[in-house]
């Protein structure tokens, strides 16, 4: 089917048929293109066809009356057009206080459009008020709907037990001085392909991309841009800002190229998706798509028509309703089946479990549909267990197959190594699988995502360098961002030339990373933490498309030393996976203090040790953690095969986690202040010789 060309519709008028309600969106037929739109309360719909994405006026307007309606769907089939055709809608209906937000002066974007054009002339402000926005609207583009070629690039399908997630911002990770990505490809989908060798050498199995669904960069205060992309304008189209070139039809193909390259390298690709809100904001926001089709359908509102907000962004999607669920499921299948994506991380995902009047549901229908859908059966599904309305469901997240971010792990591990009182017992719970949170049983593989840092908050280097946030660059007088960071600058706020402070910070970085990667659960690392990336103490760089929001590609020797440590730590985790993250918990976990079998749970305690034992009682691993300001001697359990020292974070780089573990003959283990030591039975020795790697 040929592309839509300027002037093709002016004369003669193309033939038009009633069309079909399925499939949703614009789909190519043997005769032309079928258009299907959901607008239950609309009284009339107009389909506008444009000569190009940048056209300021429609070339043809097709009115849809009741003959083109099947229940909640409006549909029409147009002959002589095909892939590349640009279109939008005007939707008519009641507009009244407490009623629907229909505004036929606005040209609306099809929520099922798989590509978008018109960004050159787009103005967000034109979508507000009563004036027409035709000259500055976004248009849907008719695309193919081919399925991803899984035969040529099958999913890696890493088990949860051995998965390690690396969260990154596609634009930020490919940009900056020293980037391995050519300048013309920085900030693009294809540019990310150039970083795959780095990610493979690091040792992660899965990359999690901050939003790549189309978002509105102008959804930000004056003088700022929305860099992170948590401002969706479409749930099916890739973001054009990540496209190499200007052809919107290439966006889907470039997503596929990235996914193919990742699959062939053994990397899974997970998308951070935002289904809890849209860029349309509250009642005063722009009418771009969903609102103009039926705001009382898509958004949670009270009887007066006021928007209910548990997203912090002005609106909350009514994911409990059948037609809304259908659109979200269409999006998931599009990215998973057509573009090859391996999983999804749901931003503020628990908001999707709310029913009418925001009441929490124990059996939210959206998640039930996800878990029953065979097209999504082999995907990794992850969610934040909280929303801005105060709902927090971690171990009891109302979906069996959805893993949750364990924010308690982040907070309690930070508190322990910071030296807070009353942190020993909480740390013990986190590093043993959070049995206090997960119904008295350790977390099972695939149930819990453990992490120390994420895009939202301090980087790991800033966590040990700043006591408070420094967000003035965001233009909000340092009011934005979380005030509760559990961070510690170790004596000086920000960078320091004091050798003692620098050495202590280096040790703490290793303590934190080691605690994360020795704990049960699925660990997530944040972009650049392995090379001490700093954001200058800014813990909310959502609007910083500059070095504050970019990867650190010019590491110095200390940066590389930490990266080498993490590489070996990841390899060691893989070797110890059956012990650290067992599918079947057959090992015995024992707690110790400085003396065996004598853990100190007092509020003033800053020391903890643990050991894993086989069925015969023989110890396999022993680990001690000293967050106290002074060195302390720990007793070691007796081990028939003898001990090997795997890790000592107080030793110089290279010796802290050597390629070949060293025999340890003393009956005890001295730990320097704020350090961690890991020992393993020599019976495990052959598995613990690590390969030398270079980043």
* Number of continuous H segments (helices) and E segments (strands) in the chain: 12, 26
Q: What is the mean pLDDT of residues 306-323?
A: 96
Query: pLDDT per residue over 187-221, tens digit each?
Result: 999 999 999 999 999 999 999 999 999 999 999 98
648 counts as catalytic: no
Strands 380-383 and 343-346, by their bridges, are parallel
Q: What is the mean pLDDT of residues 448-461?
A: 97
pLDDT of 211: 98
C-beta neighbour count of 169 within 10 angstroms: 26
Q: Is the pLDDT of residue 10 over 50?
A: no
Q: What is the mean pLDDT of residues 609-632?
A: 96
pLDDT of 694: 53
pLDDT of 581: 79
Query: pLDDT per residue over 466-508, tens digit each?
Result: 999 999 999 999 999 999 999 999 999 999 999 999 999 999 9
Q: Is the pLDDT of residue 64 over 70?
A: yes
Eight-state DSSP code of residue 119: T
Query: pLDDT per residue over 663-684, tens digit each?
Result: 999 989 999 999 999 999 999 9
Query: Radius of gyration of the chain from Cα atoms?
Result: 27
pLDDT of 649: 98
Task: Give me the percent of the chain exceeding a pLDDT of 90.
Answer: 89
Buried b (16+ CB within 10 A) or exposed e, 606-618: bbbbbbbbeeeee
Q: How confident is the model at residue 14 (pLDDT cuts 50, 70, 90)?
A: confident
pLDDT of 71: 97
Query: pLDDT per residue over 343-376, tens digit each?
Result: 999 999 999 999 999 999 999 999 999 999 999 9
347 counts as catalytic: yes
Q: How confident is the model at residue 305 (pLDDT cuts 50, 70, 90)?
A: confident
pLDDT of 3: 40
pLDDT of 182: 97
Question: Any idea which residue has 């643990």 for tokens?
Answer: 610
Task: Give me the percent of the chain exceeding a pLDDT of 70.
Answer: 96
Rounded CA separation 527/542 (Å): 14
Backbone angles phi, psi at 678, to 5 degrees: -125, 130
Options 77, 219, 309, 347, the catalytic residue: 347
Strands 268-273 and 343-346, by their bridges, are parallel
CA 418-644-629 angle, 5° bins: 20
Q: Is the pLDDT of residue 101 over 60?
A: yes
DSSP string, 428-440: HHHHTT-TTTTTT
* H or E stretch covering 328: helix 322-333
Q: What is the mean pLDDT of residues 588-609?
A: 96
pLDDT of 97: 56
Q: What is the mean pLDDT of residues 281-300?
A: 94
Q: What is the mean pLDDT of residues 260-281?
A: 98
Q: Is the pLDDT of residue 587 over 90?
A: no
Options 167, 216, 384, 648, the catalytic residue: 384
What is the overall mean pLDDT for the chain? 94
pLDDT of 26: 98
Rounded CA separation 116/139 (Å): 6
Q: How confident is the model at residue 94 (pLDDT cuts 50, 70, 90)?
A: confident
pLDDT of 6: 38
Q: What is the mean pLDDT of residues 30-54?
A: 97
Q: How confident is the model at residue 515 (pLDDT cuts 50, 70, 90)?
A: very high
Q: What is the mean pLDDT of residues 624-647?
A: 97
pLDDT of 99: 55
Q: Report the candidate in 47, 50, 57 with the shortest Cα–Cα distance to residue 108.
A: 47
Q: Is the pLDDT of residue 113 over 90?
A: yes
Query: pLDDT per residue over 120-156, tens digit each?
Result: 999 999 999 999 999 999 999 999 999 999 999 999 9
pLDDT of 580: 85
Q: Is the pLDDT of residue 284 over 50?
A: yes
Rounded CA separation 442/67 (Å): 59
Rounded CA separation 431/429 (Å): 6
pLDDT of 442: 72
pLDDT of 585: 67
Least confident window among 9-18, 313-322, 455-464 = 9-18
Rounded CA separation 613/598 (Å): 17
Rounded CA separation 16/46 (Å): 13
599: left (phi over 0), alpha (psi -120 to 50) or beta: beta
Rounded CA separation 155/594 (Å): 47
Q: How confident is the model at residue 186 (pLDDT cuts 50, 70, 90)?
A: very high
Q: How many residues does the chain have?
A: 695
Prior bond of 421 cis (ω within 30°): no
Is the Cβ–Cβ distance between 25 and 36 less than 8 Å? yes
Three-state SS for 250? Answer: helix
Four-point Cα dihedral 227, 228, 234, 238, nearest 10: 90
Q: What is the mean pLDDT of residues 446-475?
A: 96
Q: Is the pLDDT of residue 441 over 80?
A: no
List the domains of the chain with CATH numbers: 16-141 (2.60.40.10), 585-688 (2.60.40.1180)
């Amino acid at each position: 089917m040929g592309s839509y060309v300027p002037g093709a519709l002016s004369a003669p008028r193309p033939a038009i048929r009633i069309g079909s309600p399925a499939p949703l969106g614009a789909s190519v037929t043997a005769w032309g293109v079928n258009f299907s739109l959901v607008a239950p309360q609309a009284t009339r719909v107009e389909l506008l066809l444009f000569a190009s994405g940048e056209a300021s006026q429609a070339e043809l307007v097709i009115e849809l009356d009741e003959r083109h309606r099947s229940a909640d769907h409006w549909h029409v089939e147009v002959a002589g057009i095909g892939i590349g055709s640009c279109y939008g809608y005007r939707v008519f209906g009641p507009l009244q206080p407490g009623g629907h937000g229909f505004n036929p002066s606005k040209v609306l974007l099809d929520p099922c459009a798989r590509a978008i054009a018109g960004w050159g002339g787009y103005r967000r402000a034109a979508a507000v008020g009563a004036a027409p926005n035709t000259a500055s609207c976004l248009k849907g583009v008719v695309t193919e709907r081919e399925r991803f070629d899984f035969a040529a690039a099958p999913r890696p399908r890493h088990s949860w037990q051995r998965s390690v997630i690396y969260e990154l911002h596609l634009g930020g990770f490919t940009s900056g001085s020293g980037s391995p990505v050519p300048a013309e490809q920085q900030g693009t989908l294809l540019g990310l392909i150039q970083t795959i060798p780095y990610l493979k050498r690091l040792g992660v199995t899965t990359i999690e991309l901050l939003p790549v669904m189309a978002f509105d960069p102008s959804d930000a205060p004056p003088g700022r841009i929305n860099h992170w992309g948590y401002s969706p304008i479409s749930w099916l189209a890739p973001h054009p800002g990540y496209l190499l070139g200007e052809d919107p039809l290439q966006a889907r193909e470039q997503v596929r190229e990235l996914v193919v390259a990742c699959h062939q390298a053994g990397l899974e690709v997970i998308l951070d998706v935002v289904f809890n809100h849209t860029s349309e904001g509250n009642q005063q926001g722009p009418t771009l798509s969903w609102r103009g089709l039926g705001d009382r359908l898509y958004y949670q509102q009270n009887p007066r028509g006021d928007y209910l907000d548990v997203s912090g962004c002005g609106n909350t999607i009514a994911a409990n309703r059948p037609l809304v669920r259908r659109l979200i499921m269409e999006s998931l299948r599009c990215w998973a089946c057509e573009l090859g994506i391996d999983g999804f991380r749901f931003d503020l995902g628990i908001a999707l479990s709310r029913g009418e009047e925001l009441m929490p549901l124990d059996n939210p229908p959206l998640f039930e549909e996800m878990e029953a859908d065979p097209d999504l059966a082999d995907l990794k599904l992850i969610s934040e267990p909280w929303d801005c309305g105060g709902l927090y469901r971690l171990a009891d997240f109302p979906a069996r197959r959805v893993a949750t971010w364990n924010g308690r792990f982040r907070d309690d591990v930070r508190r322990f190594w910071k030296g807070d009182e009353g942190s020993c017992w909480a740390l013990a719970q986190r590093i043993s699988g959070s049995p206090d949170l997960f119904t008295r049983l350790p977390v099972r593989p695939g149930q819990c995502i453990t992490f120390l840092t994420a895009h939202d908050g301090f980087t790991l280097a800033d966590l040990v360098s700043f006591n408070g946030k420094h967000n003035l660059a965001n233009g909000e007088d340092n009011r934005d961002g979380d005030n509760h960071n559990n961070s510690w600058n170790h004596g000086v706020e920000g960078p320091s030339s004091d050798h003692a402070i620098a050495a202590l910070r280096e040790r703490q970085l290793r303590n934190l990373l080691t605690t994360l990667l020795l704990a049960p659960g699925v660990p997530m690392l944040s972009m650049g933490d392995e090379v001490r990336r700093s954001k200058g103490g800014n813990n909310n760089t959502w609007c910083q498309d500059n070095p504050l929001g970019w990867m650190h590609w010019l590491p110095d020797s200390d940066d590389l030393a930490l990266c080498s440590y993490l590489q070996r730590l990841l390899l060691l985790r893989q070797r110890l996976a059956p012990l650290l993250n067992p599918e079947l918990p057959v090992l015995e976990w024992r707690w110790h203090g400085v003396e065996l079998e004598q853990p100190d749970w007092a509020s003033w305690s800053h020391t903890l040790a643990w050991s894993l034992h086989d069925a015969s009682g023989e110890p396999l691993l022993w680990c001690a953690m000293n967050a106290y300001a002074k060195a302390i001697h720990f007793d070691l359990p007796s081990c028939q095969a003898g001990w090997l020292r795997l890790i000592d974070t107080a030793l110089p780089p290279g010796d802290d986690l050597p390629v070949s573990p060293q025999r340890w003959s003393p009956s005890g283990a001295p730990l320097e202040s704020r350090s961690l030591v890991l020992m393993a039975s020599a019976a495990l020795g052959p598995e613990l010789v690590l390969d030398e790697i270079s980043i």
